[in-house]
Amino acid sequence: MDEAGAARVKQVNENQCHMCMPLGGVAVFKGTENAMVLVHGSQGCSTYMRLTNVEHYNEPVDIASSSLNEKQTIYGGEANLCKAMDNVIRVYQPKVLGIVTTCLAETIGDDVKRIVESYVKQRDLRDIDIIPVPTPSYAGTQTEGFWAAVREEIAHFARATPRHANVNVIVPNISPADIREIKRILGLMGVEYTLIPDYSLTMDRPYGGRYQKIPPGGTKTEDIARMPGAPVTIQFGATCPEEISPGRYLEQEWGVPLVNLPLPIGLDATDLFIRTLREISGRPVPETLAFERGWLCDAMADSHKYNADGRPAIYGEPELVSGIARILCENGAFPVLIATGTKTRELAGIIEEACREADEKPVLIAEADFAAIAEASEKAGVNIAVGHSGGKLLTERMGIPVVRVGFPIHDRVGGQRILTVGYTGSLAFLDRFTNTLLEQKHATYREETKERLYREAGL
């Protein structure tokens, strides 16, 4: 980690690189069957989360609010929260209600867990599970909110269960297309599984012609309840903090062995995932996956000579950032700048290992905003960036093209369908990255050549 670029101490963020903590929790509950989510905070917070999700997923995304205002700031928000739960249960009739908190609710000190327990007892509710998750954004980002919500949901439903064959699979905040690809690979390898959270259908559904308050799909609660009986947990959480790790919870509380893997992006990480599944299932790798691996290797050979011209900056959530860093290092485009909007202890070691063959050690910035990323990009000579649409400022102000991946993507259509994982997703990403480099090169090389010739001629 470069000490000069490690931290940028400021009083405020400028164009932040991360989203807020409850936004991560929203994604988790949207990946649960028959679930609705309620934001305990101001109306503006839930509106922001609706808009952010709608513009990325291009689907209607309902998010309820307890609508706190100045009065509740003084007297507390319990009455508002109870009224909001009444309304959500009446209108949506969910089987699961996830409650995520905002900075305001946490600052005024509402004991949401106690409020929910009292509410359930008073209403004598038996057909709904209400799961509160503390997610104040001053305590973390959407990354921490996501992992914390998964852990709380598993802890809520987990029950003592006889041992069975279904493998637990826990995914980070990836696209619905990525979730579908991981499920396809699990199926090809003959592995029975429970995957959480599964918003591959709820947040990216086929055209149906009619609006549905709670769309079909999501992880079944009865499957979550059986997770303690699994033979193993595969968690794609190499950067997940131990204290909020859902897989670690299952290991410590229920004795389920944890295999913590990096996201299967790139050749090595996908090979590791396939080897793990082969050991679990005892089955050979099917020809389909062998062909897909071969096509990726062929694409790597085709693109490697172009990627050496790249000086990439990578930014976004730690798990995705580390996966992108690995695939770029495999293909000779060694990152010169890596940034994440969250605080992470685990990322530095992963990046150091991934970039061990690079001649130039990358600058790593945690808790970054785009002012810091732009400044560091200029110093490092970045000529291509990889990350979500927040990085469009790098293009607008510095002419650096951005290969879009991650969440949120608001200035393009199809962010929910961007595939990055597995051999197929890695190949698709590699093509997009290399073609972006080539497009930039062919758009500017004539002017650059002319300027060089003029300089050499002394004109």
pLDDT the model gives residue 9:
47
CA separation for the pair 53, 22 (Å, rounded): 12
| Residue with more model confidence, 359 or 234 | 234
Average pLDDT of the residues in 269-281: 97
Mean pLDDT of 68-72: 91
Q: How many CA atoms lie within 13 A of 192 on its CB side?
A: 8
pLDDT surpassing 50 at residue 441: yes
Among 67-76, 144-153, 221-230, the minimum mean pLDDT is found in: 67-76
Q: What mean pLDDT is predicted for residues 386-402?
A: 95
Rounded CA-CA distance 329/310 in Å is: 11
| Euclidean distance between CA atoms 312 and 117, whole angstroms | 50
CA distances from 314 to 304, 335, 394 (A): 18, 7, 12
- At residue 220 the predicted structure's pLDDT band, cuts being 50, 70 and 90, is very high
Q: Strand ranges (DSSP E) for 237-375?
A: 258-261, 312-315, 337-339, 363-365
List 365's β-bridge partners, or say none.
Answer: 339
What pLDDT is recorded for position 8? 45
The predicted pLDDT at position 7 comes to 44
Structure tokens at 28: 């988790």
Residue 453 has pLDDT above 60, yes or no: yes
Q: What is the mean pLDDT of the chain?
A: 93
* Separation between Cα atoms, residue 303 and residue 317, nearest integer Å: 26
Mean pLDDT of the 422-443 span? 95
| Helix (H/G/I), strand (E/B), else coil: 96 | strand
Q: Tell me what pLDDT residue 456 has.
A: 76
Nearest to 385 by CA among 306, 330, 440: 440
Query: Alpha-carbon distance 404 to 407, whole Å?
Result: 9
Distances (CA, A) of 348 to 14, 46, 323, 352: 23, 33, 13, 6
Does the structure show a pLDDT above 80 at 345?
A: yes
CB 381, CB 404: distance < 8 Å: no
Q: How many CB atoms lie within 10 A of CB 153?
A: 27
402: β partners: 385
pLDDT at 281: 95
Per-residue confidence (pLDDT) for residue 114, from 0 to 100: 97
Residue of 407, 376, 371 whose CA lies nearest to 389: 407
In this model, does residue 1 exceed pLDDT 70? no
Residue that has been written with the tokens 């970039």 in this structure: 355
Residue 445 in this model has a pLDDT that exceeds 70 = no
| pLDDT for the residue numbered 443 | 79
CA dihedral 11, 345, 245, 50 (to 10 degrees): 30
What pTM did the predictor assign? 0.93
Closest CA to 337 of 355, 349, 353, 320: 355
pLDDT of residue 276 exceeding 90, the answer is yes
Beta bridge partners of 97: 36, 130
Please give the pLDDT value at position 304.
Answer: 93
3-state SS class at 35: strand
Chain Cα centroid distance, residue 431? 22
Q: Name the band, by pLDDT with cuts 50, 70 and 90, for residue 450.
A: low
Strands 402-404 and 384-387: parallel
What is the pLDDT, as a whole number, of residue 417? Answer: 97
Q: Torsions phi, psi of 38, nearest 5?
A: -125, 130
Proportion of the chain above pLDDT 70, given as a percent: 95
The pLDDT value recorded for residue 446 is: 66
Residue 18 has pLDDT above 60, yes or no: yes
Tens of pLDDT, residue by residue over 96-116, are 999 999 999 999 999 999 999
On the question of pLDDT at 73 being above 50, the answer is yes
Using the predicted structure, report yes or no on whether residue 343 has a pLDDT greater than 90: no
| Closest by Cα among 37, 422, 56 to 197 | 37
| pLDDT for 13 | 65
Looking at residue 75, what is its pLDDT? 86
Q: What pLDDT was estimated at residue 39?
A: 98
Residue 15 has pLDDT above 80, yes or no: no
Stretch 229-235: mean pLDDT, rounded? Answer: 98
Residue 455 CB-density burial (10 A; 0-12 exposed, 13-18 middle, 19+ buried) = exposed
Q: pLDDT tens across 319-340, in order? A: 999 999 999 999 999 999 999 9
Q: Which of 373, 405, 380, 384 is nearest to 312 (CA)?
A: 384
What is the separation, in whole angstroms, between the first and last Cα of the chain?
43
User: At residue 6, does pLDDT exceed 70?
Assistant: no
In order of their start, the domains of the chain are 3-12+291-446 (3.40.50.1980), 21-140 (3.40.50.1980), 167-281 (3.40.50.1980)
Q: How far apart are CA 404 and CA 395, in angstroms?
A: 12
What is the rounded CA–CA span in Å between residue 424 and residue 401?
Answer: 23
Choose among 188, 329, 172, 332: nearest CA to 262.
172
Task: Return the H-helix or E-strand segment holding 131.
Answer: strand 129-133
